[in-house]
A and B are shown apart, each in its own frame.
Chain A
């Protein structure tokens, strides 16, 4: 009853092609942005912001990156962790070499380093497809993993092989390092993620998104229409790696505050991939859903088990999480391969005609 489109006529093609054509959707989005930018910083606890919102946004950004490559273009990649690492280490080197430049600028720049490597490891996609390409992305993952440890220059020759994030400021307020407040870090991340999500949305709804999806669905037919397969795939690698690189940089600088090189290992790649699968391949909102679910699962589990009075070891929670996520993946693929995003879409469809069944 509330979600009707009746009375909302589109009189121009532009209006018809809007990303959120239904008024209620636009209102919903505005509300979400309002809550995110104003409501949460003002009212939420430090804990909530640090432990829930910040990780969620960063992981969603990485998921969007992987979604572009795997969900929209159909190139299954297990190299996400590596590219996140490239962004993180690039940012670290840049800001330690040139501390005068604002760290946020370096965050954006570090993505381009990830892009460069993304294109390099995407070059084989000219000749390699499907499973083979996935194995090739493993090459990039393991190689980058090794480089992060081996190339000591990256960590400024730190003996422990880890990096500590130095304090950096924005308008003389510390945004990174131990003195940065959660609220400030959150707002910086929120701004960056919102901007990049907007860009991603514009891309996937336009010509480039169609080219990616065409390559995913039937690359032979795509070629026929004149879509240059190789360039389209490389563009997907480039943009996807950019997003993962920025996410990695944000992760180290604004979330963890430090990084051991092992943090960008293949587990990280799988985590993001699972977020994409469960959230919805080929859906930007799905990336957010997936990040929320996978990241939130162990937290919710701990809370529920504690509430039930069951005292459980953190290691056990980890094991249970692995099991649940694994089972969830299989379940999602069986029930709704397009993930939570599709379930959300179906829910909205039902809402549109509610209280009628169809």
Chain B
């Protein structure tokens, strides 16, 4: 399987990227850090297709992907999480979710005083979004998640891909 080769050969990823079209950004948005990381509540957002087993899986039948998102409590147990994303080999993440969503490492950082806290909700996307669904991601899902992160009290956000 092609997806399995991608798991082992780093340069295949850049070859894949060269063969695809991406939205190009012009001006870069910028918000300065309001306080040191050690005093901050950090939120996680991932596009690796993670969600709760109890939630509706991402749509794998639509070739343009699925621009919706899932709210995952940041204190969720690993056994309650799963990944729906057929565009990469997530066998490593199935064994250890921390390779795409480092919740255990974040909790250790709170215990060790490196950060003040983990925001209560992780926002999970399935990062394969193309064509008509890009517009919905840009106009609806992404700004909505941004607003929710704000009301969650996130001081800064770390994003992880597939």
User: A and B, one complex?
Assistant: no
